[in-house]
Amino acid sequence: MRVEVKTPNKNYEIKIEELEEIKLDTKVAIITNPKVSGLHLNYLTSKLKVKELYIITLPDGEEYKNMESINYGLERLFDAKFDRNSVLIAFGGGVIGDMTGFMASIFLRGIKFIQIPTTLLSMVDSSVGGKTGINNRYGKNLVGAFYQPEAVYIDTKFLKTLDKREFSAGMAEVIKMAVMFDAVFFENIKDNKLSIEQMIRESVELKADVVNQDEKEKGIRSVLNYGHTFGHVIENLTNYSTYLHGEAVAIGMVMANRLAVKLGYLTEFEANEIKKCLEQNELPTTFKIKDIEDFYNHFFADKKTLNNSIKFIIPNGIGNYKIVKDIEKEIILEVLGEFKV
């Protein structure tokens, strides 16, 4: 199964199949973390035919997605005398994919990289579309670049060693795609009618279609941030150490749904159906807000906030979306108040 991404800067394929032999007549660095390396590095290296191979291991976890990790990786590349023909391979989940892509975008002003995602979340979302970046103390993914890979290889073999919590986190992004774009897809997920390969394919096809229309998030691509505006605040308030990204997004979806209900775009029944679908995939749906004013102020650190106007992505029924902004502060505080301790 192959899906094509076509952007103004680059066309490339997403290959959903057993990992094929990859031949590269240049220096190659696999950027990975200790866990993925221990489980799967031998499998990947058995598929590579390259001129020189290097392994760069970065710490595992969202809290390490920072400039310190990037600098460490860049120095290893300079130590090994990488040049503009060299290639990086992102081998891990979303954190590794985001950091590798960002590293590739700034090393010698840009070299090629390949995505080989190993988590469900990175397979269906972060490996597709060229968003790269790191976090800082002001928020999530505030430093980065739109930088497309040469190819994405999705091999579901890697999911066999994925723990249940990580798998559930990936399901949040699958459910997000369905709620925004395809009511039938949502019903099939809810009724457990799809194999994991089918869910990955449908999610990737939907995301590729969005990226093809809007590579740099000037319009429809912002819809992919459903659940993220609230979710990123939750991640920031908990220092990226309490929730996996997909878990925070799941809670963020529930919060966005409460806003959609209050604004009249979603019924209570639909909001409950989405919540039940998240819960049956063992995702959290509640968060205790200690200070709603502080939570509200964190929205303004979001990179999607323009001219002090917060943009929210909400469902317009299941299978459709609505982009809303300039919402009265009191309305947002009322929604946040539903989650107050």
Single out the catalytic residue among 225, 236, 257, 281.
225
Q: Is 193 a catalytic residue?
A: no
Q: Is 228 a catalytic residue?
A: yes
Q: Shortest CA distance to 202 belongs to which of 128, 262, 91? A: 128
Single out the catalytic residue among 207, 236, 270, 275.
207
252 contacts 299 by C-beta, under 8 angstroms: no
Three-state SS sequence of 220-233: HHHHHHCCHHHHHH
Single out the catalytic residue among 76, 112, 176, 221.
221
Q: Is 76 a catalytic residue?
A: no
Which residue shows structure tokens 């000037």? 218
93 contacts 59 by C-beta, under 8 angstroms: no
Range 144-169 burial, b when 16+ CB lie within 10 A, else e: bebbbbbbbbbbbebbeebeeebbbb
Q: Is 258 a catalytic residue?
A: no
Single out the catalytic residue among 65, 76, 112, 131.
131
For residue 218, count CB atoms less than 10 angstroms from its CB and return exposed for 0-12, middle for 13-18, buried for 19 or more: exposed
Q: Is 221 a catalytic residue?
A: yes
The set of residues, in sequence order, having a beta carbon less than 8 Å from that of 338 and lying 6+ positions away, is: 258
Q: Is 68 a catalytic residue?
A: no
For residues 320 and 300, give the distance between their C-alpha atoms in angstroms, rounded to a whole number: 26
Q: Is 217 a catalytic residue?
A: yes
Q: Is 40 a catalytic residue?
A: no
For residues 109 and 121, give the distance between their C-alpha atoms in angstroms, rounded to a whole number: 28
CA neighbours within 13 Å on the CB side: how many for 267?
Answer: 5
Single out the catalytic residue among 76, 140, 201, 232.
232
Single out the catalytic residue among 62, 202, 217, 235.
217
229 contacts 299 by C-beta, under 8 angstroms: yes
Single out the catalytic residue among 76, 112, 245, 258.
245
Single out the catalytic residue among 62, 166, 173, 235.
173
Single out the catalytic residue among 81, 109, 160, 290.
109
Q: Which residues are catalytic?
A: 109, 131, 173, 207, 217, 221, 225, 228, 232, 245
